[in-house]
Amino acid sequence: MLPNFRFHHIGYAVYDIEKTAAYYTNAGWQISEIGLDKIQNTKITFLSKENMPLIELIAPVDNTSPIVKTLEKVGVSTYHICYEVDEIQESIVELRKQKFIPLFAPVEAVALENCKICYLYNKNVGLIEIVERK
């Protein structure tokens, strides 16, 4: 990773956002509006609670969603860790030097306003997401 990365959220692959979110909202977490990510064919929401990490729940819209493979392999699980960066393109260049492979070019974030995101994979770290605020 890079020293200037800042923790942003933990992403969970889930079958059903409403069912998983109920466990959190019953414990005092606040849920954001559920959004549709047409690029990844997923539904997304965030859960927040004071002094706790931000949690993103990601559910497939149908069987063409890439998250289906994760759910088939391990069920509901931590899917990725997201880090906020100052400059997404520069961060990708530096991460490539550390053997991270971008899964796609940076795109506008569906669930976060005025942000770009990119997922990257490293066989020793797993999947991470980076986000740049505009």
The string of pLDDT tens digits covering residues 17-30 is 999 999 999 999 99
pLDDT in tens, 9-57: 999 999 999 999 999 999 999 999 999 988 889 999 999 999 999 999 9
Q: How far apart are CA 63 and CA 14, in angstroms?
A: 13
**Could you tell me if 59 and 71 are in contact, meaning their C-beta atoms sit under 8 angstroms apart?**
no
pLDDT, position 1 = 65
CA 106, 110, 85: angle at the middle one, nearest 5?
45
Residues 63-83 have a mean pLDDT of: 94
Domain spans, the chain: 6-133
Share of the chain above pLDDT 90, in %: 84
**How many angstroms separate the CA atoms of 53 and 86, rounded?**
20
For the domain covering 6-133, report its CATH number: 3.10.180.10
